[in-house]
Amino acid sequence: MAESKLFLKENPTIQDYQQYVREMKTERNFKLDPMYECCLLAEEVGELISAVRKNNKGGTIGSGSVPGSVKLELADVFIYVCSLANMHGIDLEEAFREKEEINKQRTWKRL
């Protein structure tokens, strides 16, 4: 196995994370298919839910199930979000700012 050339600088921006994921996908020769990536994201969100439930007071998990930590599952979800953004040519920082401006104009109702 060849040594990885991947590098993430100190104090990275969202664009830095997106670039890292782009290079990681290339280096590891991962499939670049948006629908497949959505399925993988859904799996990781499920693992995140299991980890949160496990760590929640009184939470239970199925027999033999060993979900990872919330921290690591969140990282997996973030990787797939970055990857999907890359596949669609979306700058996540720009998208976040745009969406938050829309959200600031909304009236939020609590149930």
DSSP codes, 24-90: HHHHTT----HHHHHHHHHHHHHHHHHHHHHHSTT----TT-----HHHHHHHHHHHHHHHHHHTT-
Read off the DSSP letter of residue 105: T
The answer to whether residues 71 and 54 touch, using CB atoms and an 8 Å cutoff, is: no
Residue 65 has pLDDT above 60, yes or no: no
Helix (H) or strand (E) holding 102: helix 92-104
d(CA 101, CA 99): 5
User: Tell me, what amino acid is at 50?
Assistant: S
pLDDT of residue 34: 96
Give dist(CA 73, CA 84) in Å, integer. Answer: 17
For residues 39 and 46, the answer to whether their CB atoms sit within 8 Å is no
pLDDT at 68 over 80: no
Give the domains, in start order, of the chain with CATH numbers. Answer: 14-104 (1.10.287.1080)
Q: How much is the average pLDDT of 24-41?
A: 95
Per-residue pLDDT band for 60 (boundaries 50, 70, 90) equals: low
pTM of the predicted model as reported, rounded to 2 decimal places = 0.84
Mean pLDDT of the chain: 90
63 pLDDT exceeds 60? no
